[in-house]
Amino acid sequence: MSLKVQMVFGTRPEAIKMAPLARVLKHWPGIDLFVCSTGQHREMLHQVLDAFELKVDEDLDVMTQGQTLNGLSQQLLQRLDQSYAQVQPDIVLVHGDTTTSFIAALAAYHRQIAIGHVEAGLRTGNLRSPWPEEGNRTLTGVLADLHFAPIGQSRDNLLREGRPAENIEVTGNTVIDALLWMRDHLQQHQWRPAAGSPLAALPDSQRLILITGHRRENFGKGFEHICQALAELAGRYPKVQFVYPVHLNPQVQGPVHALLGGFANIHLIPPQDYQHFVWLMDRAYLILTDSGGVQEEAPALGKPLLVLREVTERPSVLEGGTVLLVGTNPQRIVEQTIRLLDDPEAYQAMNRVFSPYGDGHASEKIAQRLMRWAAERCGE
C-alpha cells in the first residue's frame, strides 16, 4: 500500500511546523511525499528548509509586490489547482491558520482530494481576532477530512462544530517537534552565532528580552503602543538588552524603526533563521510576542512569556502560569515587564517548563494516523 501525500506551505511559520513532519514522512514506509511551497516568505522559508536539511519539490512563486489577500488567494487557487492536477495526491496536508492553508484546502476540495489539517481546532470564537487567521482556520476545518488537533481542547472545539470524532486525532503540535530537535541539535554542537552576526556581540552577563511582532491585528496603533512601551523599558533598564528581529512587512518596519531606532540597548535586527531564533529563545530571560507559535515554544523552554494580543486561540498556555496576556496597552506591558525584571519571586513562578502541546513526537503520530486512514480507504 502506497499513500501519495502533497504538503503545502508558504510562510516561515508554516515551514517551521511542517519541517519535522516532512522529515518523518520522507522516510515513512508506504508514504510518497511531495513538498509544495507557495513562496510567500521565500528567503526566510529556504533558511528553515536548509536548517532541517529539506528541499521543496515545487515552488509556485505566487507573491507580487503590494499583493492583497484576495490577490494572493486568486493566484494560489489557480496555481494549486494546476499542481494538484499534475501530482494527483491522495491527500493534501495544510497547516494552521494562513490564507495558504485555506486556499490549498479549497483547491483540494474542488478536486475531491482529501485534506489533512495539521494544528486543527484552535479557536478564539471571534472571527475578527486574530484576523484573518481565525477565519482561515475555521474554514479549513470545515473542509478537512482529517483533523490533527494539538490538544484535547482543540478536539473538543472541533466536536462542538460537528466534526466526526473518528476524523480527529490528538497528536500534540509539530512546532514542539521542531523546537526540541533544533535546541538539542544546537546544544549538542555547542552552537553559537557566527562572529559576523549582530547576536555575537550580546554580553552574556546581561539579561536579554526577546521581542517578536507581526500580527495584522496590531498594525497601526497596536505596534505604536508596543514600541512606546519598549522605549520606556529600554530607558529604565539600560543594562537589559532588548533584541527585536523585525518582520519585513513595511507596516511593522515603519513604526518599529521610527520609535525604537535610537536606543543603544535595543537591537533591531533582520528576521533570523531558525537556528538563531531558537538560540535567542533559549538565551532569553523573558519573551514578548504576538506570535502564535512562540506562545507554545516559550513555555516548552521554560521562558516567561508576555503575549501582545487581546485574545489567544491557545488558551491552554495560560493555564500553566508561565504565560500572561497583556495586549498592546503600553502601561500594562511596562508594568508586567517591570514586575518580572524586579521581583525574583514573580519571575521564578513563571520560569519553568510547561508544555501542553506535546512531547516532540507529534509528527510520528500524524504519520501513523495517515497510514491507518489509507488502510481504511483500501478496506472500503
Residues belonging to the active site: 97, 119, 133, 214, 216, 247
CB neighbours of residue 241 within 10 Å: 23
Do 99 and 69 meet the contact criterion of CB atoms below 8 Å apart? yes
**Integer Cα distance of 320 and 303 in angstroms:** 12
The sheet that has 323-325: what strands, in order across it?
266-269, 241-245, 208-212, 286-289, 305-307, 323-325
Smallest CA-to-CA distance from 178 within 372, 358, 365, 371 is with 358
The helix (run of H) or strand (run of E) holding residue 277 is helix 274-283
Per the DSSP assignment, residues forming a β-bridge with 241 are 208
Q: Which residue blocks in 284-322 are alpha helix, DSSP H?
A: 292-300
By residue count, the chain amounts to: 380
CA 160 → CA 39, 145, 156, distances in Å? 34, 16, 6
Q: What is the DSSP letter of 203?
A: -
**Integer Cα distance of 210 and 253 in angstroms:** 17
**Integer Cα distance of 303 and 323 in angstroms:** 9
Integer distance in angstroms from the first to the last C-alpha of the chain?
14
Q: Taking the CA of residue 76 as centre, how many other CA atoms within 13 Å lie in the half-sphere pointing to its CB?
A: 27
Q: What is the DSSP letter of 273?
A: P
Smallest CA-to-CA distance from 3 within 283, 345, 337, 378 is with 378
Residue type, 345: E
**Integer Cα distance of 364 and 371 in angstroms:** 11
